[in-house]
Copies of this chain bind each other. A is one copy, B any other.
Amino acid sequence: MNPDITRERENATFDVEKLTHILDGGIEKTKRRREIESLVISDPDFQSEDLNFLSRSERYDAAVKKSAQMILKLREYGISDPEEIYCYKSVFRGHHHEALGLHFVMFLPTLYTQCNKQQFKKWVPLAESFKALGTYAQTEMGHGTHLRGLETTATYDPATQEFVMNSPTITSIKWWPGGLGKTSNYAIVLAQLHTQGKCHGLQAFIVPLRSMNTHIPLPGVVVGDIGPKFGFDEVDNGYLKLENVRIPRDHMLMKYAKVEADGTYVKPPSAKLTYGTMVFIRSMIVGEAAHALAKSCTIAIRYSSVRHQSEIRPGEPEPQIMDYQTQQYKLFPLLATAYAYKFVGQYMNQVYHRITGDISQGDFSELPELHALSAGLKAFTTWTASAGIEVCRMACGGHGYSRCSALPDIYVNFVPTCTYEGENTVMMLQTARFLIKSYRQASAGHQLSGIVSYLNESERSLQPQSVSSRPTVVNVNDLASLVDAYKLRAAKLVELAAKSIQQELQKRVSQEDAWNNSAIDLVRASDAHCHYVVVKLFAAKLGEIGDTGVHSVLSTLALLYALQGIQQHSGDFLQTGLLSVPQLSQVSQRLKELLAQLRPNAVALVDAFDYRDEMLNSVLGRYDGNVYEHMFEWARRSPLNKTEVHESYHKYLKPLQAKL
């Protein structure tokens, strides 16, 4: 054990184990999680080669192998609880993705929810036995977030009772679905349904892609891998061009909408049902943001405690880089953010499960709010976490750039969350739509409830109007007071966005153009709303914590989170008259004090995330702090070191020397 890191742990002022229980949701959950992790880590099949040293084809091969192993092992161990499966897989996969990911996340769930009885009987057993390896083909080369724009067609032919599937244009080629390129033999394809000369919009169809015996693509199916990406090396994101592919009528998923034998289209009863899945996936992504940032902080903070560099006082030994105020200022607010997002993730998960109960009883009342919240929070957390991972990486100096730090991997595999499952700016504007609607309702005299109740007239009338007209009431040392300040900022920025739309309308532009011409303000309002929710939930979490030591350190983190957000957005708080200039100086001063106060607990706070070395897979983030020996050992395994002299020397350098 590196003595620096041992000393850090000795200096901690709270019980790390207790904090871990809080993060897991209880001592029993921690215990079970650790059991599952040990199951993976002690498994000889887990000891695979470092993916960093493999080619993309080898990485894909390794991922398929892992997916197959995981399926067999989960059955062998009888793990069936979704949370436990998730835990098992995330250890097994590391920072990477599952080759059969979409089979589990989209193909199976869609079959469960959208098959009618006969379809269920036929397809679910095929999918659960992996005879049908499936993916979900929605996005097209020319079409992403805007579903109505999809071009793939399914034209019903009553003569043969078949659908004829086509990709009529180059932009209609399905593009990006995971597992589509090489792995899947089936896809659920989203296509525009045409029957009896009319288009009835998007429906889902089961399309066979490859022979179930030979895995060779079927006639009319042009399928393949879309090529290398920033990350996701192990996933065969694919393309699919359909050329008059005929499928039987019962390959359209018919639980809701139907096409009868003669081609008559029967409408579905309600459209709101698909909301739930989106909310669920987005709330999962918030959890992933917490996870990615927590891992990155673990690596950067442990490394900062063993890395010595430069000098603060001349003549003294080089200090730990964590002693630099600038290093603390980079890392500790991100650490606070990781904790904040962990708690937001817990909250969203709870709300989702509660509301799901309501939905199954036909009560959709809370869904719009949750839908709007999940969209904004997904964007808010993924943007911050992505940028934060890179800050952590660069805080490790040059070594952060090495793949042995694991930080490049964490970044490239997390950052697509900013674009997938709803592009972030579009998500922010969805939340803004809900906020503006709520604001207008409140202005029209309706009483709002829930998280947007701060938009009620009665609340807004309490807001400060300008610096001079009213004394500032925010206490920068009191978290509750800061939560209030965030709330008032959000209210003010929603109001500003609404007024911007109003001003545009007065110029006689259309509603839609007024919206677009105010989009910067709308995103800003959503951002403030999400920030308020995060600060509020972090503060609320403190109320649940009994242990004094843990409560104290988390309170410091929460205060740091709130104050740093104020400093970063100080313009908003000054502009809206919520803070005065002298208070802002207090905020800066207080922030510095909080950094110094957190310094002794930094390593313990990342230890509490409880990532085992095998999960971090980072030489810089090792628990024992013995970084350099292992970096050397890792480097020696680089494929370029397999030979003493690389062939390029004989091919190019020696001939060059001879020529000159």
Contacts and interface: CB of A to CB of B under 8 A. Distances in A.
Interface in A169-207: 170-171, 173, 175-176, 181-183
A205 to B, nearest CB: 22
Interface residues of A, number: 143
B397 A144 contact: yes
Interface in A493-519: 510, 512-513, 515-519
Interface string A211-227: 00011110000001111
Interface in A239-283: 239
Interface string A632-660: 10111111110011111101111111011
A419 interface: yes
Nearest to A420: B398
Contact of A653 (B55, B133, B325, B638): B133
Interface string A284-326: 0000000000000000000000011111111000100001111
B145 A657 contact: no
Interface in A606-652: 628-629, 631-632, 634-641, 644-649, 651-652
Contact of A130 (B310, B323, B628, B657): B657
Given A516-B324, A575-B570, A146 B397 contact: no
A418 interface: yes
A33 interface: no
A318 B401 contact: no
Which of A71, A309, A416, A466 has the most chain B CB within a 10 Å cutoff? A309
B143 A309 contact: yes
B574 A139 contact: no
Given A129-B660, A520-B325, A644-B216, A403 B141 contact: no
A61 interface: yes
Contact of A229 (B139, B401, B424, B516): B401
A388 interface: no
B657 A65 contact: no
Interface string A554-578: 0000000000000101111111010
B182 A649 contact: yes
A228 interface: yes
A425 interface: yes
Contacts of A324: 516, 519
Interface string A316-348: 001000011111011000000000000000000
A520 B329 contact: yes
Given A310-B149, A512-B312, A628 B170 contact: yes
A107 interface: no
B635 A226 contact: yes
Interface string A383-413: 0001100100110011011111000100010
Interface string A58-73: 0011001101100110
Contacts of A645: 182, 210, 214-216
Contacts of A634: 227
A8 to B, nearest CB: 18
A655 B65 CA distance: 11
B312 A516 contact: yes
A423 interface: yes
Nearest to A646: B182
A227 B398 contact: no
A370 to B, nearest CB: 23
Contacts of A448: none
Nearest to A518: B325
A414 to B, nearest CB: 12
A368 to B, nearest CB: 20
A101 to B, nearest CB: 14
Contact of A571 (B144, B214, B429, B571): B571
A35 to B, nearest CB: 25
Contacts of A641: 181, 224-225
B592 A517 contact: yes
A562 B231 CA distance: 35
Interface string A5-16: 000000000000
A653 B183 contact: yes
Contacts of A523: 326
A567 B572 CA distance: 10
Contact of A646 (B61, B229, B628): B61
Q: What are the 8 tightest A-B residue pairs by CB atom distance, in nearest-first order?
A: A570-B571, A225-B640, A227-B638, A64-B648, A230-B408, A146-B310, A571-B571, A68-B652
Given A173-B632, A230-B401, 16 more contacts: A57-B640, A68-B653, A145-B397, A182-B640, A182-B645, A224-B635, A225-B640, A226-B402, A227-B402, A230-B393, A312-B512, A312-B515, A313-B512, A390-B415, A401-B415, A569-B571
21 contacts: A55-B55, A60-B646, A64-B651, A68-B656, A72-B659, A141-B632, A144-B397, A215-B645, A227-B403, A227-B637, A227-B640, A312-B515, A314-B512, A325-B516, A326-B523, A397-B423, A398-B416, A401-B416, A520-B592, A570-B572, A575-B581
